[in-house]
Structure 1
Amino acid sequence: MLDIKVEKTQCPKEKPGKDDPLLFGTIFTDHMFVMDYDEEKGWYDPRIVPYADLTLSPAATIFHYGQGVFEGLKAYNSENGNVNLFRPDMNAKRSNRSSDRLCIPEIPEEDYIQAIEQLVALDKDWIPSEPDHSLYIRPFIIGTDPFLGLKTSRYYQFIIILSPVGPYYPEGLDPVSIWIEDDYVRAVRGGIGEAKTGGNYAASILSQVKAHDEGYSQVLWLDGVERKYIEEVGAMNIFFKIGGKVVTPKLNGSILPGITRDSVIQLCKEWGYEVEEKRISIDEIYEAHKAGILEEVWGTGTAAVISPVGKLRWGDEIMQVKDGGIGELSHKLYDTVSGIQLGKIEDTHGWIVEIK
């Protein structure tokens, strides 16, 4: 168990009011968690301190070789007055898998979760009370070695910051439009596509700008080898309901193993849906659309939870999903997952960790 030192801020920030817009990831709470790593000491000096800028060498490993990983989860005000975290053990496990891929020392899962719990408990008054609002939690690890050489860092920092947020997409639960990228690629099997690291997202920026310029919210990536198998959306995993069956791309080494993705698969199976994790080509999706059996499309992720998709653009083809509205299963999944997170629905899976 970590012995976390706590230094409370002497200058608390003014919290946003109910009528103030909460653009995702733009406002930060009073405190942050920091822990250091030295290859001789291991992880040491865990502390909660006032939120402040970092001081790093211009030669730090993170700036030049991208040796860093991050996670994302949320804290929710529960119906019973406690604060809920949703499956934080999965974030700790995934962070360690990402760290292993980038040669970053792992953090014991119990220490990872304890750091999150203690920081959230201190700043829980920042959790918004409005519907579809929450406290976004961003843990990350960066290499800080001041050395311009391509090798693993000798020093790291594990940092957690918190941000009160509203809906990830301005549309809220209204269906979004997706641009299917058929020019650039994001990742290939054997690369770092399944790790939650900055390079994956940097590779997607150009396509994201192109999609936004064309009026689309997100980019759906195809595989990097044959350019025809669906992988994931920039900030989400993707699901299709085709002829009554739920289909999602199987994890193949270049797709992020989403925590909401895993939760949705479990729920759909419990509700009696046939769920298939498989290689699915864009041609199959187009043929299903032409045949009138592409019933629903949605994305899953921590930021948006469930994001219905109303339109897909592939080359010159525009695929309207049904009438462009939210589907019955998408809506049920959103209500169920968010209901469990908020304590409105009984958690029968052991997914919720309460902070009192």
Structure 2
Amino acid sequence: MMLVRRVVTTTSLAKFFPCFSSSLSKSGRFAYHASSPAPSLNPISDDSCGSENEEAEIDWDELGFGLVPTDYMYVMKGTQDGEFINGELNHFGDIKLSPSSGVLNYGQGLFEGLKAYRRKGMGGGIMLFRPEENALRMGMGAQRMCMPSPSVDQFLHAVKLTVLANKRWVPPQGKGSLYVRPLLIGSGPVLGLAPAPEYMFLVYASPVGNYFKEGVAPINLLLADKIHRAIPGGTGGIKAISNYAPVLKAQMHAKSKGFTDVLYLDSVNKKYLEEASSCNIFIVKGNVISTPATNGTILPGITRRSIIELANDLGYQVEERLVSVDELFDADEVFCTGTAVVVAPVGCISYCDQRYTFKTGVETAAQRLYNTLTAIQMGHVQDTKGWTHEIQ
């Protein structure tokens, strides 16, 4: 099979960022294509940025999933009519917002999350996994939230530029990844309930390790029966910022009792699985892998979609449908998927004072799928699906 690679390199960065000049002889040129004018970049002085080959001063072995401020972030402004122009790299730092901005007053905001992985060795290239899917999902969410959004090309350009500018913060392979967080917010002032007149698109990044404190060990979930993550007709199917604060109370209660996270039921029948606080859920029974259908209350995860395709390739029968609590408790295996968690095996779930345990370990579907997915993400195997973008 032929290896599918999309390579983005950095020649044009030299005139804006002298810190990239050391690699020009081997890097080639940074490609950018968009229907609107290419973002302009403000120069950042040479003495404020280190060599791209300089390794960040950080203990990679102690890396958790928390914010580690990096060097640069990308900022681009947009108008209500959908025009986004004049994007630029800035030093990572605070942003200025009106007290009456749409995001602060009415929660008009979206976010995405994706990861950059380093190929083996600090001199290796950097891999992005399906970033165009994040761009498309942000566009879908923007429509629901009455917001304009960057084009796919603008989104990809911003993500790649941010990763390259923070290249020294990408962990060595096997030590973690660079988590990339694109944000789209209503930055313009508005008092009455209405869409903001101006928008801001930002991309920042932070090196991260495992999302859960358990690392790659099985996680322990609490099944919530009184708090629900989403309702039909709401915004549960998009990555609205307002989706996440409502689950904090349930999550903090669960963690205080020793649980890793919370799994939620549907808000109508209260008997069908939806998802966990920040990841999708799968159950395994024999050769059948089932996951709740994305019917508007469940986020259509990019890792979720990838796992479904890989599971089919590996010979499993995959079903997207309503999954009841009774089926959950009868499952052989349970696992969660998401950009942050990748594929996380579930060791046990507690519900109504009952504890249910599930199979974990090397001979499970979850482990097999984790190995297959991460091999593609890190460039260990040929990407026959065209899912990865390599940047240098």
TM score, norm. by length of structure 2: 0.85
Q: Does the alignment pair 1:39 with 2:39?
A: no
State yes or no: 1:199 paired with 2:199.
Answer: no
3-state DSSP of counterpart to 1:318: strand
Question: Structure 2: which 5+ runs fail to align?
Answer: 1-33
Match of 1:234 among 277, 285, 288: 277
2:200 counterpart residue number:
157
C-alpha distance in 2 between matches for 1:317 and 1:265: 30
Mean Cα deviation higher: 20-29 or 297-306: 20-29
Question: Take 2:99 and 2:175, find their aligned partners in 1: how far apart are those partners?
Answer: 39
> Using a 3 Å threshold, how does the CA distance of structure 1 residues 105 and 41 change in structure 2: closer, same or farther?
closer
- 1:18 Cα shift? 3.1
**Larger deviation, residues 38-47 vs 173-182:** 38-47
- Aligned pairs for 1:251-270 within 5 A: 251-270=294-313
Which of residues 47, 62, 66 is equivalent to 2:103?
62
In structure 2, what is the Cα distance between the partners aligned to 1:303 and 1:211? 19
Q: Which residue of 2 aligns with 1:331?
A: 367
> Using the alignment, how far apart are the partners of 1:89 and 1:153 within structure 2?
26
Query: For residues 16 and 169 of structure 1, do their structure 2 counterparts lie closer, same or farther at Cα, with a shift above 3 Å needed?
Result: farther
Q: 1:297 and 2:297 equivalent?
A: no
Which of the numbers 118, 127, 134 marks the counterpart of 1:91?
134
| Cα contact 1:88–1:113 (8 A) shared by 2 | yes
Cα distance between partner residues in 1 of 2:286 and 2:172:
39
Partner Cα separation in structure 2 for residue 58 and residue 182 of structure 1: 37
**Which amino acid in the other structure matches residue 121 of structure 1?**
L
Is the contact made by 1:308 and 1:327 (CA closer than 8 Å) also made in structure 2? no
For residues 214 and 114 of structure 2, the distance between their equivalents in structure 1, rounded to whole angstroms, comes to 21
81-90 or 18-27: bigger deviation: 18-27
TM-superposed CA distance for 1:77, in Å, is 0.5
- Maintained 8 Å contact 1:145/1:156: yes
TM value normalised by structure 1: 0.94
Given the alignment, which residue of 162, 170, 177 partners 2:220? 177
In structure 1, the partner of 2:26 is none
Q: CA deviation at 1:163?
A: 0.3
For 1:275 and 1:16, locate their aligned partners in 2 and report how far apart those are by CA, in whole Å: 44
Q: Does 1:345 align with 2:350?
A: no
Is the 8 Å Cα contact of residues 174 and 326 (structure 1) preserved in structure 2? no
Change (3 A) 1:326 1:318: farther
**Partner residue in 1 for 2:354:** 317
Distance 1:241 1:338 in 2: 20
- Unpaired segments ≥5 residues, structure 1: 289-293
SS in 1 for 2:238: coil
Q: Residues 135 and 156 of structure 2 are in contact (CA less than 8 Å); yes or no, is this contact kept in structure 1?
A: yes
* Counterpart-to-counterpart distance in 1, 2:375 and 2:44: 33
Give the AA of the match of 1:315: C
Residues 1:308 and 2:351 aligned together: no
Q: Could you say if the C-alpha distance between residues 327 and 240 of structure 1 is closer, same or farther in structure 2, counting changes exceeding 3 Å?
A: farther
Q: What secondary structure, in the 3-state scheme, does the structure 2 residue paired with 1:203 have? A: helix
Contact 1:175 1:326 survives alignment (8 Å): no
Check if 1:354 corresponds to 2:390: yes
8 Å CA contact retained: 2:82, 2:149: no
Amino acid at match of 1:211: A
Distance 1:257 1:121 in 2: 28
Could you tell me which of 256, 262, 271 is aligned with 2:314?
A: 271
1:332 Cα deviation (Å)?
A: 1.2
Q: Percent of aligned pairs with the same residue? A: 39
Equivalent residue for 1:142? Answer: 185
Q: Which residue of 2 aligns with 1:291?
A: none
Q: Which moved more, 1:83-92 or 1:104-113?
A: 104-113
Shift of 1:41: 7.8
Secondary structure at the counterpart of residue 289 of structure 2:
strand
d(CA) in 1 for partners of 2:214 and 2:328? 24
Q: Is the 8 A contact 1:78 1:341 kept in 2?
A: no
Please give the alpha-carbon distance, in whole angstroms, between the structure 2 residues aligned to 1:345 and 1:180.
37
Contact (CA 8 Å) 1:308, 1:326: kept in 2 or not? Answer: no
Distance 2:361 2:61 in 1: 28
| 3-state DSSP of counterpart to 1:204 | helix
Shift in alpha-carbon separation, 1:106–1:40, aligned structure 2, 3 A: closer
Deviation track 1:9-66 (CA, whole Å, cap 9, x = no partner) reads 6445893323563231320210000000123682121111111101111111111100
Structure-2 separation of matches of 1:195 and 1:49: 28
Alignment-mate amino acid for residue 8 of structure 1: I
CA distance in 2, matches of 1:149, 1:166: 42
Instruction: Call closer, same or farther: CA 1:176–1:234 in 2, change over 3 Å.
Output: same
Shift of 1:144: 1.2
**Equivalent position SS for 1:219:** strand
User: Cα RMSD (Å) of the superposition?
Assistant: 1.7
8 Å CA contact 1:7, 1:49 repeated in 2: no
Which moves more between the two structures, 19-28 or 9-18?
9-18
